C-alpha cells in the first residue's frame, strides 16, 4: 500500500471522532461488564426454566420477554452494587482487578447511581409489566445479595456462601411468580436446589482462588478451614443437593426429569468425592465447570419433562 494511503488510514483511525467512539465503546463495555453478563445468563436460564415448568407449557411471549428484561435489570443492578461495595478487594484479586470500579475507570458514585437505577427500573418494570409479587421477590433478592451477602456476610464469616446463597436462588421464585401470580411447594424446591448447589459450585472456585481471597482478607472456607474441610463440605452439599432434586418428582415432574436428575447428580457427587480423595487444581476446575453445565442441564430436563408430559 502506498505510504500516502497508509498515512490517510492512520489519520482517519486516529481522528478525534474515532478516538471519541472508542472511548464511548470502552465506557459502555465497562458498564456492561459491571452487570456480570456471564452470571446473568445462568440466572435468566433458571428464571425461564421455572416459568416453563410452572406454566406446563410456553407462557405468552410478551410475558416471557418482560420477565427476562426485569431479570436483567434486577440481577444486573445487584451485580453493579456488588462491584461498587467490593471495589477495594476487587483491586487486589487477580480475577477482578480489571473491573472498571476496581481499576478506577468508573467512579464509585457513577457505579452506585447505575446500580440503584437498574434496581429501581427492575421493580417498576416487573410491577407494571409482569406482577407485583415478581417485583417484590426480585427486589428481595437484590437487597439480600447486596446488603446481607456482600455488605455483611462476605467479609465476616466463612459461611458467607451458605447463608448468602439464598440471593442466587431467588430467580426461580421470580419466574414461577411471573408465570402463575403465586408460589407453590415446587417453586420452593427449585429455590432449594439452587441454594444447595451454590456452596459446592462456589467453593470449587474458592479452591482455585484461595490465595487471592487470602490476600484480600476475605474469609472464604478454604482460607479459614482449609482445603480439606472445604472438599469435605462439597461432598456433603452435593449429596444434599441430590436429595433435594428428587423432591420434585412427587410434585409433578416425571421420568424424563428423574433419570436426568439421577445421572447429573451422580456425576456431581462422584466428582466431589474424587476431588476429596485426590485433590488437584485441575479437578477443582473440572468440578467448577461441571457445576455450571449441571444447573443448565437440570433445568433443561425439567422443562423437557414438563412440556412432553403436559
**End-to-end CA separation in angstroms for the chain:** 65
- Return the axis-axis angle of helices 170-180 and 185-208, rounded to nearest 10°: 150
Question: Taking Cα atoms as reference points, which of 261, 240, 253, 124 lies closest to residue 184?
Answer: 253
Percent above pLDDT 70 for the chain? 95
pTM of structure = 0.92
**Structure confidence at residue 12 (pLDDT):** 47
**Closest alpha carbon to 272 in 262, 264, 289, 284:** 284
Q: Tell me the DSSP string of 195-221.
A: HHHHHHHHHHHHHHTHHHHHHTT---H
Among 282, 165, 167, 289, smallest CA distance to 221 is for: 165
* pLDDT for position 310: 63
Distance CA 310, CA 304 (A): 10
pLDDT in tens, 67-88: 999 999 999 999 999 999 999 9
DSSP state of 168: H
Report the pLDDT value the prediction gives residue 4, as an integer from 0 to 100: 42
pLDDT digits (tens, 9 = 90+) for 264-302: 999 999 999 999 999 999 999 999 999 999 999 999 999
Other beta carbons less than 10 A from residue 63's beta carbon: 17
What's the pLDDT at 19?
83
Residue 56's Cβ-side half-sphere holds a number of Cα atoms within 13 Å equal to 7
CA 167, 172, 178, 181 torsion: positive or negative?
Answer: negative
Take residue 86 and report the three cell numbers written for it. Answer: 467490593
| Cα 5 → chain centroid | 49
On the 0-12 / 13-18 / 19+ scale of CB atoms within 10 A, 188 is middle
Domains of the chain: 20-181 (1.10.357.140), 184-310 (1.20.120)
Positions in the chain whose pLDDT score sits under 50: 1-12
- Closest C-alpha among 293, 307, 238, 302 to residue 271: 238
Asked if 51 and 307 count as a contact pair (C-beta separation under 8 A), the reply is: no
The count of C-alpha atoms lying within 13 angstroms of the C-alpha of 232, restricted to the half-sphere facing its C-beta, is 5
Phi/psi for 98 (5° steps) reads -90, -5
Number of Cβ within 10 Å of residue 179's Cβ equals: 27
Amino acid at each position: 500500500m502506498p505510504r500516502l494511503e497508509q498515512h490517510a488510514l492512520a489519520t482517519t483511525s486516529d481522528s478525534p471522532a474515532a478516538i471519541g467512539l472508542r472511548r464511548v465503546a470502552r465506557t459502555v463495555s465497562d458498564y456492561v461488564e459491571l452487570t456480570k453478563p456471564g452470571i446473568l445468563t445462568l440466572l435468566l436460564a433458571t428464571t425461564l426454566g421455572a416459568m416453563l415448568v410452572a406454566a406446563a407449557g410456553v407462557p405468552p411471549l410478551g410475558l416471557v420477554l418482560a420477565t427476562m428484561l426485569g431479570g436483567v435489570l434486577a440481577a444486573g443492578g445487584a451485580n453493579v452494587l456488588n462491584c461498587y461495595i467490593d471495589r477495594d478487594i476487587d483491586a487486589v484479586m487477580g480475577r477482578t482487578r480489571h473491573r472498571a470500579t476496581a481499576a478506577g475507570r468508573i467512579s464509585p458514585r457513577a457505579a452506585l447511581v447505575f446500580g440503584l437505577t437498574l434496581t429501581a427500573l427492575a421493580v417498576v418494570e416487573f410491577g407494571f409489566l409482569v406482577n407485583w409479587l415478581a417485583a417484590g421477590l426480585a427486589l428481595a433478592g437484590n437487597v439480600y445479595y447486596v446488603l446481607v451477602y456482600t455488605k455483611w456476610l462476605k467479609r465476616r464469616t466463612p459461611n458467607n456462601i451458605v447463608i448468602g446463597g439464598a440471593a442466587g436462588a431467588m430467580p426461580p421464585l421470580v419466574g414461577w411468580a411471573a408465570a402463575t401470580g403465586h408460589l407453590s411447594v415446587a417453586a420452593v424446591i427449585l429455590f432449594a436446589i439452587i441454594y444447595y448447589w451454590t456452596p459446592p459450585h462456589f467453593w470449587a472456585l474458592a479452591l482455585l482462588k484461595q490465595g487471592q481471597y487470602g490476600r484480600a482478607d476475605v474469609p472464604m472456607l478454604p482460607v479459614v478451614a482449609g482445603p480439606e474441610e472445604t472438599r469435605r463440605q462439597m461432598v456433603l452439599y452435593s449429596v444434599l443437593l441430590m436429595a433435594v432434586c428428587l423432591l420434585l418428582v412427587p410434585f409433578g415432574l416425571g421420568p424424563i426429569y428423574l433419570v436426568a436428575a439421577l445421572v447429573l447428580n451422580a456425576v456431581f457427587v462422584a466428582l466431589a468425592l474424587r476431588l476429596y480423595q485426590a485433590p488437584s487444581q485441575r479437578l477443582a476446575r473440572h468440578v467448577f465447570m461441571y457445576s455450571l453445565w449441571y444447573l443448565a442441564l437440570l433445568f433443561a430436563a425439567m422443562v423437557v419433562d414438563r412440556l412432553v408430559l403436559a
